[in-house]
Amino acid sequence: MADFTAAAAIIGTGFMGRVHAESLARIGVRVLGIVGSTPERAAAAGIAQPYSGMDEMLADDRVNVVHVCSPNHLHYEQALAALRAGKHVVCEKPLAMTPAEARELRDTARELGLVNAVCFINRFYPLCQQAAAQVSSGALGAVRLVTGGYLQDWLSKDTDWNWRLDPRLGGSLRVVGDIGSHWLDLASYVTGQRVESVMADLTTTIPTRHRPLRSVETFTQAVDQETEPTTVTTEDIAGILLRFDGGARGVLSLSQVSPGRKNNLTLDLSGSDGSLNWGLENPERMWIGHRDDPSQILMRTEGDYPPGHAQGYPDTFKALHHAVYTAVASGEAPTEPDFPTFDDGLEQALIGEAIAQSARLEQWATVER
């Protein structure tokens, strides 16, 4: 285990706060405390020592890195306050609710020379890193087509509810921001190509949901709770055509209403000399397609654990956090970071803006960088 001396504080007591705390413990980073929506919630979480609030945490000089794991609408103001207090920041996606906010965060981190990261964790599956290496080595030839999707089912019933459904808390794009951003980040990471323009169709298939009057944890169902009929404006499904700057074309399907699809991200590349397919629900295997030779299924060989000893979701956070704390230990923000940064958070905000525009106008939209 590396000997990291930098210490952390976490904002957020939900699913992501717990994932970050566990990952930091695994790499030997001390979590000095946690900030919740109330001091009582911070104490009840049992993750780390509770702070009374943001102010107490930001004034704690022992904290070097702040992990922003709160609901989306709080990311901007909390990340900005942390940067201004001189802390390095690891932020859950989305970085912010608008491109302007994401840009301000990116610029502030840059000006202050602070390490900044956004948790596009799928890059850290060893086979995704291998896929990126295959593409950049030229083994697949020119990538011509990128297809796939990200399908989930945890919002497929009209009784399913979560704060992400409320645009004031989650943002005006839901499947695109919550899971589409993971796919788009991964597609660019693996292909080395950026999205240039998009044509999007967004649909809300469950326009009225029964919202429980108390809050519901991500991926869980409200049981025996009083509910209130609530109109939903954010999309349940999305179909998006993509044009990449390296010439590739893409087709992406997104949904949070696909029964049986739990966390089903798939990425399929067709290159001039070979193809590749990888999926998040079976992340230890990758399919490599050949025209003239038999196609192959590759088993992971690189990584923290020997092949056959499954590596998965928590390990991606461990790898991301390890890269970030290595940068923090070096004393300055790296010029060529080996982890996703606020630049990548801004990139997804800009693509999201183009997707929303395309859906609204029912025409192709360019990503305005």
Residue 55: which H helix or E strand, with range? helix 54-58
235 is an interface residue for ligand SOE by CB under 6 A? no
Q: Which of 263, 287, 338, 343 binds ligand SOE (CB under 6 A)?
A: 263
Nearer to ligand SOE, 134 or 162 (CB): 162
23 is an interface residue for ligand SOE by CB under 6 A? no
Alpha helices in the chain (DSSP H): 15-26, 39-45, 54-58, 75-84, 99-112, 126-137, 167-170, 175, 181-191, 313-330, 342-361
Count residues near ligand SOE (CB under 6 A).
6
Q: How far is the CB of 216 from ligand SOE (least distance, A)?
A: 12
315 is an interface residue for ligand SOE by CB under 6 A? no
Question: Contact 246/202 with Cβ under 8 angstroms?
Answer: no
Q: Per-residue x/- mask for ligand SOE, residues 149 to 188, rule CB under 6 A? A: ---x-------------------------xx--x------
What lies within 8 Å, CB to CB, of 94 at 6+ separation is 72, 75, 102, 171, 177, 181, 345, 348, 349, 352
Nearer to ligand SOE, 116 or 348 (CB): 348
Nearer to ligand SOE, 179 or 327 (CB): 179
3-state secondary structure of 164: helix
Q: How far is CA 293 from the centre of its chain?
A: 36
- Closest alpha carbon to 174 in 186, 166, 184: 166
What lies within 8 Å, CB to CB, of 136 at 6+ separation is 192
Nearer to ligand SOE, 13 or 275 (CB): 13
Name residues contacting ligand SOE, limited to 203-232 (CB under 6 A): 218
Question: Contact 79/68 with Cβ under 8 angstroms?
Answer: yes
Cβ-proximal residue to ligand SOE, closest one: 178
Nearer to ligand SOE, 32 or 206 (CB): 206
Nearer to ligand SOE, 131 or 280 (CB): 280
72 is an interface residue for ligand SOE by CB under 6 A? no
Interface with ligand SOE (CB under 6 A): 152, 178-179, 182, 218, 263
